[in-house]
């Protein structure tokens, strides 16, 4: 195997980059390191902004071949690329030639395409949660019954009609929210953090290779 394909190289890179972040967080290492860490923060922001362009390029790389080869539903790929190009061009921040986010076409796309589509997809959750709850919220066991009762109290708490019909629902719902819910949230957060730490140790010690070539399992 060529040396540059050896699995030890990405593992070493992972370890070095992780230690660069972890050690200065805990240990005082002087102004030069602090400045390096601040610059690293700025670089990360630049990379995050640059990722937007990578996303656009990747979409072109994925959909252009579909159009060229006339694969299934190539028309939708064409529509996607045309709309993407249009949105990018009209949204370019060049006010002098009438482009930018004040551009009428850009505003139209945002107000009449992006916003309704995004909102509608999000709104689907209302339908899905009702059908899922109708199907699964059954008191099959003690735990399921407790879940059902707690959920019902909070539904009454959240609906103005609920607190109107059952005034005690507000106080009971607030208590559930502030006490048992908070305790469980903390427990899950602590458990999750511990799991992430141990996963980090496995990764840094080279045992966790699932994110590399699937060699861990």
Partner 1 sequence: MNFIFETSQIIHSGRASGLVILLIIAFAAIYFIRRGKGGKIPSIRRVAGLDAIEEAIGRATEMGRPVFCSQGLADIHDSTYGPQTIAGLSVLGYVAQLCARYGTRVIVPVVSLTVYPIAREIVENAYRMEGKLDQFRVEDIPFLSTWQFSYSLGYMSLMRREKAGANIMIGAYWAESLQLSEVGYRVGAMQVSGTANTHQIPFFVVATDYCLIGEEIYAAGAYLSKDPAMIGSIVAQDIGKIISLILIVLGILIGLSGSKIIVDLLNM
Partner 2 sequence: MSLWDKLENIDSRIIYLLIWIVVLTPLISPIGLPVSISENTIAYARTIDQLPPGSMVVLSFDFGLGSLGELYPIAVATMHHLFSRPVKFAIIAIWNQGPLVAKMIIDELNPEKTYGKKYGEDWIFLGWAPGGEVAMRALGQDFWKVFPTDYLYKRSVSEYPIMQKLKSANDVALLISIETGTPGVDEWARQWGPYNVPMLIACIGVSAPGVTPYLQSGQVKGLLPGLRAGAEYELLIGRKGLAVASADALSTTHMIFLIFVVIGNISYFAKRRGIK
CB of 94 closer than 8 Å to CB of 100: yes
Does 42 sit near partner 2 (CB under 8 A)? yes
- Pick one of 26, 161, 214, 215: the residue that binds partner 2 (CB under 8 A): 161
- What does the per-residue mask of binding to partner 2 show for 93-122, with x meaning CB under 8 A? x-------x--------x---xx--xx-xx
Q: Report the distance separating Cα 137 and Cα 130, nearest Å.
A: 10
Q: Residue 49: name its binding partner from partner 1, partner 2, none (Cβ under 5 to 8 Å by kind).
A: partner 2
The alpha-carbon radius of gyration of the chain (Å, integer) is 26
Nearest Cα residue to 148 out of 160, 159, 138, 157: 138
Which of 88/117 has CB closer to partner 1?
117
- Interface with partner 1 (CB under 8 A): 25-28, 51, 54-55, 58-59, 62, 117-118, 121-122, 124-125, 128-129, 131-133, 135-137, 185, 188-192, 194-203, 205, 207-208, 210-217
Piece of 10-18, 35-43, 54-62, 63-71 that binds partner 2 (CB under 8 A): 35-43
Q: Report the distance separating Cα 107 and Cα 112, nearest Å.
A: 8
Question: Least Å distance between CB 190 and partner 1?
Answer: 5
CB of 56 closer than 8 Å to CB of 88: yes
What residues contact residue 209 under an 8 Å CB cut-off, 6+ apart?
A: 7, 11, 215, 216
CB of 7 closer than 8 Å to CB of 209: yes
Does 25 sit near partner 2 (CB under 8 A)? no
3 state DSSP class of 213: coil
Torsion angle defined by CA atoms of residues 56, 61, 65 and 66, in that order, rounded to the nearest 10 degrees? -50
Which of 39/75 has CB closer to partner 2?
39
Binding residues (CB under 8 A) for partner 2: these are 38, 41-42, 44-45, 48-49, 52, 93, 101, 110, 114-115, 118-119, 121-123, 126-127, 129-131, 133-135, 137-140, 148, 152, 155-156, 158-164, 167, 170, 174, 177-178, 181-182, 185-186, 189
């Amino acid at each position: 195997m060529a040396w540059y394909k050896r699995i030890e190289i990405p593992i070493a890179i992972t370890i070095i980059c992780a230690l660069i972040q972890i050690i200065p967080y805990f240990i005082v290492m002087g102004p030069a390191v602090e400045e390096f860490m601040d610059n690293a923060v700025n670089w990360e922001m630049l990379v995050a902004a640059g990722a937007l362009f990578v996303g656009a390029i990747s979409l072109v790389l994925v959909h252009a071949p579909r159009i060229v080869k006339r694969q299934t539903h190539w028309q939708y790929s064409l529509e996607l690329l045309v709309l993407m190009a249009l949105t990018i061009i009209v949204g370019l921040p060049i006010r002098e030639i009438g482009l930018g986010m004040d551009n009428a076409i850009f505003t139209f796309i945002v107000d009449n395409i992006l916003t309704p589509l995004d909102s509608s997809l999000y709104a689907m959750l209302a339908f899905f949660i009702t059908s899922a709850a109708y199907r699964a919220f059954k008191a099959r066991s003690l735990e399921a019954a407790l879940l059902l009762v707690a959920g019902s109290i909070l539904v009454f708490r959240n609906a103005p009609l609920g607190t109107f019909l059952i005034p005690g629902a507000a106080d009971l719902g607030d208590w559930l929210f502030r006490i048992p819910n908070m305790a469980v949230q903390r427990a899950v957060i602590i458990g999750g953090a511990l799991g992430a730490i141990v996963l980090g140790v496995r990764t840094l010690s080279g045992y966790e290779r699932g994110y590399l070539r699937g060699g861990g399992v």
